[in-house]
Amino acid sequence: GAVVSQHPSWVICKSGTSVKIECRSLDFQATTMFWYRQFPKQSLMLMATSNEGSKATYEQGVEKDKFLINHASLTLSTLTVTSAHPEDSSFYICSAVLLTLARTYEQYFGPGTRLTVT
Amino acid sequence: DAKTTQPTSMDCAEGRAANLPCNHSTISGNEYVYWYRQIHSQGPQYIIHGLKNNETNEMASLIITEDRKSSTLILPHATLRDTAVYYCIVRADSWGKLQFGAGTQVVVTP
């Protein structure tokens, strides 16, 4: 199946700094990618929809100025957590949408990035 | 998208079939039923999806009731590696955003 990677797999940063997380579709092009956040013992929460070449669409309650999303190419979307605080510590997961030869859409998830803000 | 209801947790013996129920009584005619699972500290993995017919692939079978108000995911021979949280999601389009509920924590025991 299609592969989605994330980098880094884990990161520790100091409060007030910014952290960039990359999401790549390795063997397919993805016009649409999604970013999720997951706190311990909770389910995934959708943060935003990332569309190549256009502005991201954020879910209600997600600060677009704090979580900057850039989808500059068909294989790369980045999430930048600006001025990170300890409450931003979480597991961040991306997914990418693949249009198959059968003209169906399949969504593939990355392995996630563990962010810890100290 | 329609809301789903799943049991919080269930245990299953290794080698036995695991039957995971999901209620989606408000499902609309154009909405699909999707199943994903998430092994601890990993990204979700697609398992199977269906509209109204039963579906089977190398991972599992999906049984959807005739009125489409509920479905059952069947893992035919559960292994320890099937221990995960299983999510049942209903949505209208095949490419759009996924709204994850609490899911079912499945623990497969030797």
Q: What is the pLDDT of residues A82-104, one digit of tens each?
A: 999 999 999 999 999 988 787 77
Of the partner residues B42, B85, B101, the one whose CB lies closest to the CB of residue A112: B42
Give rounded-to-5 percent helix, strand, coil for chain A.
Answer: 5, 55, 45
Burial of A95 (0-12, 13-18, 19+ CB in 10 A): buried
Please report, as a single letter, which amino acid is at residue B82.
D
| Residue owning tokens 């991972």 | B59
| Residue owning tokens 């994850």 | B100
Q: Do A46 and B99 touch (CB under 8 A)?
A: yes
Mean pLDDT of B27-50: 92
CA A5 to chain centre: 10
SS3 B92: coil
**Do the Cβ atoms of A95 and A36 come closer than 8 Å?**
yes
Helix (H) or strand (E) holding A46: strand A45-51
DSSP character at residue A59: P
Nearest CA in chain B to A40: B41
pLDDT bracket for residue B2 (50, 70, 90): low
pLDDT bracket for residue B1 (50, 70, 90): low
- The reply to whether A46 touches chain B by the CB within 8 Å rule is yes
As a whole number of angstroms, the distance between CA B91 and CA A93 comes to: 20
**Do the Cβ atoms of A69 and A52 come closer than 8 Å?**
no
Percentage of residues in chain B with pLDDT exceeding 70? 95
Residues of chain A with pLDDT under 50: none
Q: Do A112 and B101 touch (CB under 8 A)?
A: no
pLDDT at B96: 75
pLDDT at B80: 97
Sign of CA dihedral A56, A61, A64, A66: negative
